Structure 1
Amino acid sequence: MTRYVGSKWKKTAALMRERELSEYVPETAQLSKSSLHSLLRKYEMVYVKPVVGMHGNGVMRVERTTAGYQFQSQDRIRSFTHFDDMYRSILVQTRKKRYLVQKGIRLLKHNGRRFDIRVMAQYSPNRQWETTGIIGRVAAKNRIVTNFHGGGKLVAASRLLAEHTNYVYPKLHSLSKLGVKAGKAMQQAFPGVYEIGLDVALDQSLRLWILEVNTSPDPYVFKKLPDKTIFKRIMRYAKMYPKKRA
């Protein structure tokens, strides 16, 4: 049956084992006082995420500032003079669940709001991985996550990219190739995975970064695209797969 992999840590490790994918993965570690302090010193801004979680729930953006430190959860920002005080506050938010800390990518923006790209890749009837959909996700105002379920807006990826580059189609092609490579890696690491949703960020230099892999992606976001054949193909492929199981 179709396999669901919940652990972000295990999925990140699977990507890191593949030479062609590891360069796209931001540095990631299991959350501890020392790992958070180290990555903050190195990158100034990081994201803290639950190892198991969906729809951006529990994600925090943590930064070093001129006055000390701050972190944002949903639309609330908390500021601190000392690292230890901030870390204790973060631990309250994590509620003793396992978390990761990841190098922060400063996302491109659309109308002042951060966006990333969701790439849908599926195992096709021809027994090959294929990227079947690409769509942009724009964060709600003052939010740090782009998820549609968290108030984000779905926008055609080509439209978002066109605001930042003249090379839209080469960039879409790169995203498509990345989806296929990630799909193969997930299936190799976790037999029984037949489809993935790849969340990809673009930084200020238009470099691609894999933020996360979802092995149970929501196909209905692609229903928002003007080209209705994309959603129909996604659903046709999905119906071939065995019923999902945990």
Structure 2
Amino acid sequence: MVFQRDKWLQYRAFRNVPLLAKRLPETQLLENEALHHMLLQHSSVVLKPCDGRYGRDIVFIRRLKTGTYQIQNENNIITMQNKSELQDWFDQLNKDREYIIQQRLYLARIQQRPFDLRIMVQRQKANSSPWKVTGSYAKIASRGYLVTNVTNRTIPVLKALQLARVGGRKLLLQVERTALLAARSLEVQYPDLRQIGFDIGIDKKGRVWIIEGNYRPDLRPFRRLKDSAMYRRILWYQKH
């Protein structure tokens, strides 16, 4: 079964749950007014296609004190000299796709590179089967990138939290509880949903943020982990 991939729809499902709402960055549908409003509220924002996958076409916009705007897509950076140039750039943005705009999260870093956590949650085919965390790893961004989708490094979650000096098992438990609650909120929208790969961010102050949930998560990174128990457990849940 194919589940609709829509970041805006997902955001609205999460914000209706008070315990999840506080873990969401400020988010709006991208329109002209929303762009300028968000840049007044936040010095840096991120634009994401609602139907995007693998971090493609994600754009970071940073408002500098000089009145210029720095735009970064993947490892490409360009500068707009003023609001008028930014407006011209915005008008050329692909209007065939719907975007959301969010406040940028300043994620915790390992060796000056941001990272986030992939938390895999699944449930069995039986009706009312509870959601379980079946796997996890940390994704570290490649040098020069702000998104962790471009990475060649995956490491165990606890090791990442310790390297970044933001927490340990207590924080991991908080992350896992957040992912399970988020799964239950999406279950209302999609009763047949059985697996979600959540991207969870930890900022520099150790706060937990929901980035998004993926309905067809890539399992290859689990195969690359030294401990194969997670991968075997994930495959078991897919079959049962």
Give the letter aligned to residue 64 of structure 1: R
- Once structures 1 and 2 are overlaid, which stretch shifts more, 123-132 or 169-178? 123-132
The answer (yes or no) to whether the contact 1:3–1:192 under 8 Å persists in 2 is: no
Alpha-carbon displacement from aligned partner over 1:174-205 (angstroms, at most 9, x marks no partner): 11111111111111122221111111111111
The answer (yes or no) to whether the contact 1:121–1:196 under 8 Å persists in 2 is: yes
What is the correspondence of 1:121-136 to structure 2 with a 5 Å cutoff?
121-124=121-124, 127-136=129-138
Following TM superposition, by how much is the alpha carbon of 1:99 offset from its aligned partner in structure 2, in angstroms? 0.7
Work out whether 1:30 is the aligned partner of 2:29: yes
For 1:54, the equivalent position in structure 2 comes to 53
Paired residues, number: 237
Distance 1:63 1:167, change over 3 A: closer
Aligned identity (percent) is 25
Distance 1:160 1:196 in 2: 21
The answer (yes or no) to whether the contact 1:146–1:152 under 8 Å persists in 2 is: no
Distance 1:238 1:87, change over 3 A: farther
The answer (yes or no) to whether the contact 1:3–1:193 under 8 Å persists in 2 is: no
For 1:202, the equivalent position in structure 2 comes to 202
Alpha-carbon displacement from aligned partner over 1:131-167 (angstroms, at most 9, x marks no partner): 11111001111112111xx344212211110023374
TM-score by length of 1: 0.91
The answer (yes or no) to whether the contact 2:121–2:135 under 8 Å persists in 1 is: yes
Give the letter aligned to residue 89 of structure 1: W
Distance 1:203 1:152 in 2: 21
What is the correspondence of 1:229-244 to structure 2 with a 5 Å cutoff?
229-240=229-240
Distance 1:130 1:76 in 2: 39
Give the letter aligned to residue 86 of structure 1: L
Alpha-carbon displacement from aligned partner over 1:85-128 (angstroms, at most 9, x marks no partner): 12322443435321110111011111111111111111136711
Q: Which has the higher contact order (CA 8 A, sep 6+)?
A: 1
Alpha-carbon displacement from aligned partner over 1:47-103 (angstroms, at most 9, x marks no partner): 100010100000011111022211101111111121231232244343532111011
Give the one of 140, 143, 148 matched to 1:138: 140
The answer (yes or no) to whether the contact 2:110–2:164 under 8 Å persists in 1 is: no
**RMSD over aligned Cα atoms:** 1.6
The answer (yes or no) to whether the contact 2:23–2:210 under 8 Å persists in 1 is: yes
For 2:113, the equivalent position in structure 1 comes to 113
Distance 1:191 1:142 in 2: 40
Q: Which runs of 4+ in 1 moved over 6 A?
A: none
Gaps of 5+ in 1: 241-246
Distance 1:216 1:162 in 2: 29
Distance 1:71 1:228 in 2: 40
Distance 2:82 2:226 in 1: 50
Give the letter aligned to residue 183 of structure 2: G
Distance 1:114 1:167 in 2: 15
For 2:168, the equivalent position in structure 1 comes to 168
The answer (yes or no) to whether the contact 2:199–2:212 under 8 Å persists in 1 is: yes
For 1:72, the equivalent position in structure 2 comes to 72
